[in-house]
Amino acid sequence: MENKFVSLSIENHVGIVTLNRPEVGNALNLEMAQDLLDVAIYCSESQEIRAVVITGAGNKFSVGGDLKSFANEGNEIGSHLKRVTTYLHQAISYFARMNKPFIGAINGVAAGAGMSLACACDIAYASDQSKFVMAYNKIGLTPDGSGSYFLPRVVGIRRAIELMYTNRMLNAQEACEWGIVNHVVADDELMNVVLELAKNLANGPVGAFGATKKLMYHSLQETLESQMSLESEFLAQRASCAEGNEGISAFLEKREADFINLDK
């Protein structure tokens, strides 16, 4: 699938999503947001894709919103940003809610909406050359792209507010220590490492991954008892489905489970 500003390729059941405006640091404009939604819908629906990796073309992940294109809208900037964020937010919702693992390969700068997008990934690996900055308050704006949802959950509300107020930039190691990324990898090894992880996850029980993700998100708004009730319900469902049957059988028979061919 080849859109102008977001490309999608598929290898070993892994969808590789590439933000593709390297000449402007993969800055997000209306057209890129529209392309991202198209790709997110395709990834969520494709039977071939069982894990998704997102990265940036060139030496940056994304510098965030394309401020020049926004400013060109003049007095219409408010309505224009509503259109941009409608596409961007729906894309992030598809990526976050799909059963398939959503993995970030964060190369270079992730600023503003780029950092928000990195925080929305289920798992994120960063190049040792990467940097992270929220950037919004410095120019009098507020976060978008799910930044105000995921960032406080990842780092805690005090650290999240500090990053917003001060425009503090984190290097890759600091981002890892704060929990924004899971691991830091040498720049020239980033995609190899992430694609190997994604391939392994794509061979796994994608339905169980999706159910686990839903449980984790629900836990932020449930009581202990209501969350344990959901755990019981999900566990019973998973044990009764094809993935659960295959997983249990493979364990008892001391063989590797084959989750991919259950979809065929």
Active-site pick, 35, 66, 122, 144: 144
CB atoms closer than 10 angstroms to residue 30: 20
Query: Is 128 designated active site?
Result: no
* C-beta contacts of 246-252 below 8 A and 24+ residues apart: 247/205, 247/208
187 belongs to the catalytic site: no
Catalytic residue among 89, 183, 187, 218: 89
Phi, psi of 11 (to 5 degrees): -140, 125
Structure tokens at 2: 């080849």
Which active-site residues does the annotation give?
89, 144
